[in-house]
Structure 1
């Protein structure tokens, strides 16, 4: 039930906060790693990265934990998003825990910044 609540929270955040900012990009590299820029949230064991064109489920790894520690400095609430730039392996293989079509394993953290305040006035669920 808890995971369903997190999934609904993530979906509602992404649907209500459509970002037309084209500064969020996906850049493919020659070494099988992809440079991704976008909005990131990690809450209750689920991590999601939203770029300007796609939504990625993020694999739970040590790099994700490191990214989350860096992101905590920019959050006022646990469900706040931060702007990140990472390099990682993108896959569309099925996973029993991550239900998003696109998934990414973070291999390198390039930058972590506070998100744009477009969510000001947004009603937050939970405490």
Structure 2
């Protein structure tokens, strides 16, 4: 009788462990999906400039074109309020998705779609030098 009770408890324990493992695997799959989605977003720190309908973010080792969306429109407004002139690059920290340029377009090799604005800072250094030509 003791052997039967021991085997019964052992069997129940094994079965309940398997169910917990499946539940843990299912929850980790949903976490993986969220993590995969977030892993496509990169934090990018660089200088932003938007002139004549085209935007660019430039860092030490990269230059990305910027796709237009609602978040980009907000970044344009925030950066414009910090610019000293039209061609002043504004330091920004954003989160976005980097993709290759669309086929058949003449633009930067990689395009960033901005998903979140983290910081917009004041431009560093001296104001750009303006050169005026006389007539």
1:65 is aligned, of 65, 70, 73, to: 73
34, 43, 48: which one aligns with 1:40: 48
**C-alpha distance in 1 between matches for 2:51 and 2:105:** 14
Q: Tell me the residue number matched to 2:84.
A: 76
* TM-score, normalisation: structure 1: 0.67
Question: What CA distance in whole angstroms lies between the structure 2 residues aligned with 1:31 and 1:66?
Answer: 23
- Greater helix proportion: 2
Aligned to 1:104: 112
Q: Which has the higher strand share?
A: 1
Rg comparison, structure with higher value? 2
Gaps of 5+ in 1: 1-28
Q: Within 5 Å, give how 1:90-101 maps onto structure 2.
A: 90-94=98-102, 99-101=107-109
